[in-house]
Copies of this chain bind each other. A is one copy, B any other.
Amino acid sequence: MLLEKEKYDLILLDLMLPGLKGEEIIKKVNNVPIIVLSAKISSDDKVNCLLSGASDYITKPFDSKELLARIEVQLRSNNKNNVLDNLKYKDLELLSDKHTLLVCNNKVSLTKTEYAILKQLLLNKPQVISKNKLLDLISIDTEDCDENSLRVHISNLRRKIKDYTDNEYIESIWGIGFKIKD
């Protein structure tokens, strides 16, 4: 699936298009604003999409100027939350080269999976990420991956971080998932 391999600034999702159900796409996407275009004027549809993760919902027919303005709103707010800023936290800095982490300014090389996990945790910093969500995320790169496997990745990440700092960064929330410690 393209969504999983490429990077996007914004997704315009037409609910009338054939193929995947819109709501499923919305739930799969993370940290990319989605504007839903739809002929459905049902309020329930709107509410569902918005609560599932869509950033905006425009009912057809719409004025093209309005669409452009709403696109600008999304891009504007996305730039404010500069992604790169969010990837710094205390002694950690995740570099965008996809596999390097700085711990107290020491280079630590991460595997693709470790990078993906840590990035997700840092992006959502105070929040808990469920094990299932992390698994979904990892499955983009590698298919078979169960909780056991995830545990090993987390363990490896912790060890790599611990080599350079005494602070604990990855906290387990029993029965739920993981989060970055405050």
Chain A residues packing against B (C-beta within 8 Å): 31, 33, 43-44, 46-47, 50-51, 54-56, 63, 65-66, 68-70, 72-73, 77-78, 80-81, 97-99, 111-112, 124-128, 141, 173-176, 179
A97 to B31 alpha-carbon distance, docked (Å): 17
27 contacts between A and B (CB under 8 A): A31-B80, A33-B77, A43-B63, A43-B66, A46-B63, A46-B69, A47-B63, A47-B65, A47-B68, A47-B69, A50-B66, A50-B72, A51-B69, A55-B73, A55-B77, A77-B78, A77-B81, A80-B125, A80-B127, A81-B126, A97-B128, A98-B126, A98-B179, A99-B128, A99-B173, A111-B175, A112-B174
Contact check, A124 vs B47: say whether CB atoms are below 8 A apart: no
Most buried by B among A43, A73, A141: A73
A170 to B70 alpha-carbon distance, docked (Å): 32
Residues from chain B with Cβ under 8 Å of A173 in the complex: 98-99
Residues from chain B with Cβ under 8 Å of A126 in the complex: 80-81, 97-98
3 nearest CB pairs, A to B: A112-B175, A50-B69, A43-B63
Residues from chain B with Cβ under 8 Å of A33 in the complex: 77
